[in-house]
Amino acid sequence: MSTFETATGKMSFKILPKELRRRFNGRISYQGIDASEKWVYKKLQVTHSHSMLFDTDDDYLMAPTTAVGTGDLLKFLIIKHTGYEDTNENTASPYGIILSIDSGTPAFNDSNILFIPPGETLALRLPTRSIAGVLTKTCSIVNGAPSADGISGQNALIEIAAIIDDV
């Protein structure tokens, strides 16, 4: 059995109208390949200004004196939108977060964004994406979709865990 970092999860979706109902079950997992891949965990208040999910102020969990570098590679990423505005977790946030994984500034109407509304979770395997290439900011939501980029004061708290290759 490997002693390297591991992440596993399951998902299940009921789709289509009752008459055609189908269930999609699946899993997502990642098995680290060597000791340079380490966990990072944090809570981040996302604002209207785009920012990286991780930066050089963040340390690896089991190596607290080793900071994340902008060239380090995200191998596995899970983001939970807590549904709150900040780390006090006492004010609900109606704002979503948008995520760009192509090094570009995220915009609500960009066809290359990922969208996470309050209370939802996203898990991804990103084998070649550097820390600097993943940016996020808030957005307004209308009819379940991003409708405008966030403005000052529109914040959302996310919880992030990732296995990152310390290159």
Q: What is the pLDDT of residue 18?
A: 80
Q: What is the pTM of this model?
A: 0.89
Residue 129 domain-assigned?
yes
Residue 22 domain-assigned?
no
Residue 138 domain-assigned?
yes
* pLDDT per residue as tens digits for the range 42-89: 999 999 999 999 988 899 987 778 899 999 999 999 999 999 999 999
- The one-character DSSP state at 54 is S
Q: Which residue range is the domain that position 122 belongs to?
A: 36-165
Residue 20 domain-assigned?
no
Query: Number of structural domains, the chain?
Result: 1
* pLDDT per residue as tens digits for the range 100-154: 998 889 999 999 899 999 999 999 999 889 999 999 999 999 999 999 999 999 9
User: Does pLDDT of 1 surpass 70?
Assistant: no
CATH value at residue 55: 2.60.120
Residue 23 domain-assigned?
no
Q: What is the pLDDT of residue 2?
A: 59
User: Does pLDDT of 3 surpass 80?
Assistant: no
Residue 5 domain-assigned?
no
Residue 137 domain-assigned?
yes
- Give the 3-state secondary structure of 76-107: EEEEEECCECCCCCCCECCCEEEEECCCCCCC
Q: What is the pLDDT of residue 66?
A: 87
Cα separations (Å) of 44 from 9, 21, 36, 39, 133? Answer: 22, 37, 24, 16, 17
Q: What is the pLDDT of residue 37?
A: 94
